[in-house]
Structure 1
Amino acid sequence: MNPPDGGVADELPGVAPRLRDLRRSRGLTLETAAQRAGLSPAHLSRLETGRRQPSLPMLLGLARIYGTTVSELLGETPPERDAIIRGGKFEGAEADGWMYQQAGGSGRAMQALRVRVPQAAQSDLVRVHPGEEWLYVLAGHLRVWLGETVHDLAPGDSAHFDSLTPHRITAVDRDGAELLFVHTLLLSPAAELCLGSGIHRR
């Protein structure tokens, strides 16, 4: 028999308690979570008690708010992801003068890259976006502008900063610089954040 407001309680078994548990574990009230998801508190309450089944857009919105995936909301076990990325010949992509190669797994909250920066590449390009960035100089010398402050980095030096700080990066040496680069992937791929647009494979 269907619940009184038209949902089918057994279509997505287990979703209702997971929605409630996730909201509580994130320290969110029903009203706050509903507001962020664009729902009424009454509607979210019905989802959490199984009296209403969520649509896919609702699941996507709630997963984003709770910092999880739709698969987790549905109780699915994600496939195993390879944690090891083997080294080898540098074969990457080009974006606005930078060469970069994936150095971490996909589908993560952070993206790790191995990057080669030519001298003066993007020397006048200032970036501001949500998230954090961390870089570690492997070879060459790097110049990093963070707001009004300029830092010269040598091999072994690193920088970790809030990406909302206006920043730009350039290599000082004629032969450029090579670095490890990690950033939180919130809005766009790396090419649209700090590496610029216009990616070309080589």
Structure 2
Amino acid sequence: MAPQLRALRRSAGLTLEAAAAAAGLSPAHLSRLETGRRQPSLPMLLALARVYGTTVSELLGETVADRDAVVRADAMEPTRAGGWTYWQAGASGRGMQALRVHVPHGSQGDIVRVHPGEEWLYVLKGRLVLRLGDTTHRLGPGDSAHFDSLTPHRLAAADHDGVDLLFVHTLLQSPTAALCLGPAASVPH
């Protein structure tokens, strides 16, 4: 994956510093990702995909021969990043990305995300704690949420077994395409 990250950054015409700033990372951290000395989390992959105007699949070097409308269950390979496990649930190269995601309990800490676009999620199994701005929502199987991702948001599993989701988000390219804020940030969470 590391060479693919570097190639996509270069094809986007971005310096290491510009890409890192747009993704909310330090240049040193992005350099370690591009050399394979660090593995990116799913939020980092999503941020880099938005900055480069591509998909997580392309970042991972996955290619689809054509833009088939159908993704077969046996073709979905699990990918692990940042403690999460996810499976592509839609074709790559589209304006939105669909994923099936397993979020383990305690995997995201206090990371709050803010980025342009929209997100939709549907809880398949387990219970999800979704923080949107100052409001905390608890969702169970069959519940869904659709929100503007400029609203500071955080996803966490309420159960020790984690939570399984269907997750769809728009892929927008923007200089402020992704911002992950830790617990010391002044954004409400």
Question: TM-score, normalised to structure 1's length?
Answer: 0.52
5+ residue gaps, structure 2 = 1-64, 181-189
1:174 maps onto 2:160 in alignment? yes
1:163 maps onto 2:149 in alignment? yes
Between 1:136-145 and 1:118-127, the stretch displaced more is 118-127
- Report the number of matched residues: 115
Point out 4+ residue stretches in structure 1 off by more than 6 angstroms: none
1:150 to 125, 136, 141: 136
In the TM superposition, residue 120 of structure 1 has moved relative to its aligned partner by: 1.6
**Identical aligned residues as a percent:** 63
1:123 maps onto 2:99 in alignment? no
- Distance, in Å, in 2 between the alignment partners of 1:83 and 1:89 is 13
1:82 to 51, 57, 68: 68
Classify 1:187/1:92 alpha carbon distance in 2 versus 1 (closer, same or farther; 3 Å): farther
Classify 1:89/1:107 alpha carbon distance in 2 versus 1 (closer, same or farther; 3 Å): closer
- Distance, in Å, in 1 between the alignment partners of 2:109 and 2:121 is 17
The answer on whether the counterparts of 2:116 and 2:178 sit within 8 Å (CA) in structure 1 is: no
- Distance, in Å, in 2 between the alignment partners of 1:194 and 1:169 is 15
Bigger RCO of structures 1 and 2 (CA < 8 A, at least 6 apart)? 2
- Secondary structure of 1:127's counterpart equals strand
The answer on whether the counterparts of 1:97 and 1:118 sit within 8 Å (CA) in structure 2 is: yes
Question: Could you give the per-residue CA deviations for residues 149-190 of structure 1, whole angstroms, max 9, x where no partner exists?
Answer: 0000000000000000000000011100100000001138xx
5+ residue gaps, structure 1 = 1-78, 196-202
> In the alignment, what sits opposite 2:19?
none
- Look at both structures and tell me which one has the larger radius of gyration over its CA atoms: 1
> In the alignment, what sits opposite 1:101?
87
Classify 1:185/1:138 alpha carbon distance in 2 versus 1 (closer, same or farther; 3 Å): same
